[in-house]
Amino acid sequence: MKKIKLMVVFFIFGLIFFPQISQGEQAKDVTGSVALATYNQYIFRGYEIGKSSLVIQPSMTVSLKGFSATLWGNMDTNQRNTRTATFNQEFKKGWNETDLTLSYTHEIKNLSITGGYIYYGTKYADETEEVFVALSYKTIANPTITVYRDIANYKGTYINLGLSHSFPIYKKMTIDLASGFGYFIGESDYWKTYERSTGTYTGSKYRGFHDGMVKMGLTIPVKKVFLIQPTVQYWFPLSSHARKEYPTPADIKDSYNPNGPVKYNLVYGVGFTYNF
């Protein structure tokens, strides 16, 4: 069913973009990028999706008059079982996620408003879908607040405040600083928390300050259209509930959060981007 939905989305995407691209002059309005990033670990909203292995994440974005479509994927070269990612082929290479994001951005002076849809094609968990809206203001630190709402298998709301700023250091090279802070509100029964008295997930639904991230990187332009971007990220829990775990008699830790604990993680890698 999810594959059919994805095919329908691609068909709609084609109806919107390709007639424009084929009309010669209007092709100049089409912009986009092709990117490839490699990291030592894949972290999503504080959750460990993969760890202690090389992950390779290609992506492609096409934009036209405020509309954008992004296709993103993740390949783990040494898959390992985590609380959020249980694989049948542990310690083997595998493509485990393909995401599609469709969005529209409208700008009013320094304010940008973006709304969109995300399809998560995941192999380590049930596939799901989100809608989101983001408000961003162009000023120092470029504050951006984004609200994501799951509309399929993991119903809940995730709110993220992002800050970012770039400083020129040599010619067109910049040092890039960014941070993000998330708050989560679980709504479906999936998000019931671990209750020690029952030894299972029968407690109240998970909610609270969730994950934090600070990032530092460089943007190194090569000619005008090619960028090299080494980065270092540090992820951490924002509350005791986000990081809480309970030891069991079987010497296996169960987390208070049903999707796994948010841990302290250092993520580093490099990205390559070609803009067109």
Helices (H), the chain: 2-21, 240-243
Q: Are 100 and 118 in contact (CB under 8 A)?
A: yes
Q: From residue 116, how far is each of 67, 70, 148, 259 by CA, in Å?
A: 10, 11, 9, 24
Q: Are 55 and 62 in contact (CB under 8 A)?
A: no
| Structure token digits, residue 115 | 């709304």
Angle at 59 between CA 213 and CA 24, to 5 degrees: 130
The alpha carbon dihedral of 49, 51, 56, 60 has a sign of: positive
All residue ranges of the chain with pLDDT < 50 are 4, 7-8, 11-12, 15, 21-22, 25
Q: Tell me, what's the pLDDT at 101?
A: 98
Note the pTM of the prediction, 2 decimals: 0.89
Identity of the amino acid at 111: L
| Structure token digits, residue 70 | 């992004």
Q: Tell me, what's the pLDDT at 81?
A: 76
Q: Are 133 and 147 in contact (CB under 8 A)?
A: yes
Instruction: Tell me how long the chain is.
Output: 276
Q: Tell me, what's the pLDDT at 70?
A: 98
| Structure token digits, residue 170 | 């040599």
Virtual torsion, Cα 180, 264, 90, 231, nearest 10 deg: 50
Domains, the chain: 2-18+41-275 (2.40.160.40)
Q: Residue 45, by phi and psi: left (phi above 0), alpha (psi -120 to 50) or beta?
A: left
3-state helix vs strand vs coil in the chain, percent to 5: 10, 60, 30
Virtual torsion, Cα 265, 165, 269, 130, nearest 10 deg: 70
Identity of the amino acid at 193: T
Q: From residue 206, how far is each of 7, 44, 193, 195, 196 by CA, in Å?
A: 33, 17, 6, 12, 15
Residue 138 and residue 151: Cα distance in Å, rounded? 30
Give the three-state DSSP class for 113.
strand
The alpha carbon dihedral of 217, 220, 226, 228 has a sign of: negative
Query: Could you report the per-residue pLDDT of 119-162, keeping only the tens digit for each?
Result: 999 999 999 999 999 999 999 999 999 999 999 999 999 999 99
Virtual torsion, Cα 18, 20, 21, 23, nearest 10 deg: 120
Q: From residue 260, how far is each of 120, 144, 171 by CA, in Å?
A: 18, 26, 44
Q: Tell me, what's the pLDDT at 22?
A: 47
